[in-house]
Structure 1
Amino acid sequence: MIAETVCSAVSAAGLGIAVVTAYRKRFLAAARIAAYSLVPVALVMTGIVGWIADTAFSPSAWAGFVLLGGAWLLFMTTRAVERRSGGTRKERKAAKAAQREAVAPAASAPSLGPATRPAARPAASPRPAKSGDDFSDIEAILKKHGI
């Protein structure tokens, strides 16, 4: 009974604020305030407020909330352990199979040449470019850098 009275008072105050806002020619804001202030009365009329008030003072409802919290905690703990251990067996098998099927698994590793530079090489005489030799410039650059 008191919850319904409080909700009605809140709605009345909100509608009063909406009227003052509309008087100040801020009609969009007044409409938004009126919409928010009608929500508590709508909740009272649908019976949700009574249900919530009955639930708040029910020991069996609180026991149910405690069980829900325990189930959620258990679920989150198992997820954290699963992530830390690298997933389930099926996921690990699939990851290993995917790694074996990879085209070039070591492609991301940089290929480093010898640590010391070789002695100066004699300059190669440039070849005349042929009509079918489109990559001769690229080959020359790669040879120049020792690749």
Structure 2
Amino acid sequence: MLTDTICAALSAAGLGIAGVTAYRKRFLAATRIAAYALVPLGLAMTGILDWVADLVFKPTVWLGFGVLGLSWVLFMISRAVERRSGGTRKERKAAAAAERAGVSAGASEPALGPGRAAAGAKAAGRPKAKGGTSSGTDDFSDIEAILKKHGI
């Protein structure tokens, strides 16, 4: 009841200021002031202010917000610990198994197998370069060794 009276008084004062502003030929500003002045009256008429007053002044509501905040904090802590530790136990086991397995030895053979045989046949027919090695075969074997070293 008190909030309704305060809202009505605020709206009346705002509408009075809007009237004075309109009298001074500032109609756009007067319209804006009138719009702001009607907000408290509209809130009082809809009953939202009573709901807000009950929300603010009841201790059980504040305890409910505290419980919600605590649950949110616990959730965020669990996510941070999960990220830092590397995931759940299942995920860690799967990652360890994948790391142990690594890249299988025959994974890159189909791509390199025919090329290597063809390069070897071509290199056998060519004369050696000035440095004593064939032109491109040794270069590819070095690259291949580096890739195998890194597990690619």
The two structures have a TM-score, normalised by structure 2, of 0.49
2:49 matched to which residue of 1? Answer: 49
* Structural mapping, 1:56-67, within 5 Å: 56-67=56-67
Query: What are the superposed Cα offsets for residues 22-52 of structure 1, whole Å, 9 maximum, x if unpaired?
Result: 1111111111111111111111111101111
CA distance in 1, matches of 2:10, 2:27: 20
* Cross-structure match for 2:6: 6
Say how many residue pairs are matched.
Answer: 92
Q: Deviations over 1:66-122 (max 9, x none)?
A: 122223333444565567x398588xx8xxxxxxxxxxxxxxxxxxxxxxxxxxxxx
Q: Distance in 1 between matches of 2:33 and 2:85?
A: 51
SS of 2:74's equivalent in the other structure is helix
CA deviation profile, 1:124-143 (whole Å, cap 9, x unmatched): xxxxxxxxxxxxxxxxxxxx
**Structure 1: unaligned runs, 5 residues or longer:** 94-147
Give the unaligned 5+ runs of structure 2. 96-152
> Which of the pair is proportionally richer in helix?
2
Q: Show the counterpart of 2:40.
A: 40
From the superposition, tell whether residues 79 and 23 of structure 1 become closer, same or farther in structure 2 (CA, over 3 Å): farther
Tell me the equivalent position of 2:16: 16
29 and 80 in structure 1: CA distance in 2 versus 1, 3 angstrom threshold: farther
What's the CA shift for 1:11? 1.0
- Determine which structure has more spread, i.e. the larger CA radius of gyration: 2
